[in-house]
Amino acid sequence: NAGVTQTPKFQVLKTGQSMTLQCAQDMNHEYMSWYRQDPGMGLRLIHYSVGAGITDQGEVPNGYNVSRSTTEDFPLRLLSAAPSQTSVYFCASSYVGPNQPQHFGDGTRLSIL
């Protein structure tokens, strides 16, 4: 099993550009989530999904969209990148929800110029 795979590992964007961060898991997990990690701020929840076709907002959803068309994939879209979105983004998954151990990807390091 590959676990949780995030692509790309690094990305530099210009302000106003859009892009999609990819997250895929091969563990048949229903629950998937996206976090951003900023220095001194810990991890903050952006969006989460409890199954295919179901998504909801987390703590800091503005500027981000998600969709969940399959169990395996949970892409995160930046609609119009802003310097404030410079961060490290982590995707995580578990079988049914946050009351279980989460499996994390290795992150995408994103810089917005």
Partner 1 sequence: SQQGEEDPQALSIQEGENATMNCSYKTSINNLQWYRQNSGRGLVHLILIRSNEREKHSGRLRVTLDTSKKSSSLLITASRAADTASYFCATSSGGSNYKLTFGKGTLLTVNP
DSSP calls for 97-112: STTSPPEE---EEEEE
Q: Considering all CA atoms of the chain, what is the largest pairwise distance in Å, rounded to the nearest integer?
A: 38
Least Å distance, CB 33 to partner 1, is 7
Least Å distance, CB 110 to partner 1, is 14
Helix, strand or coil, per DSSP, at residue 21: strand
CA distances from 64 to 20, 75, 95 (A): 10, 10, 24
Pairwise CA distance, residues 67 & 23, whole Å: 11
Choose between 17 and 58: whose C-beta lies nearer to partner 1. 58
Choose between 17 and 103: whose C-beta lies nearer to partner 1. 103
Q: What angle do CA 41, 94, 2 make, to 5 degrees?
A: 95
Least Å distance, CB 97 to partner 1, is 6
Residues that bind partner 1 (CB under 8 A): 4, 31, 33, 35, 40-45, 48, 50, 56, 58-59, 90, 92, 97-107
Least Å distance, CB 80 to partner 1, is 26
Choose between 12 and 41: whose C-beta lies nearer to partner 1. 41
What are the tokens at 36? 């951003």
Choose between 14 and 40: whose C-beta lies nearer to partner 1. 40
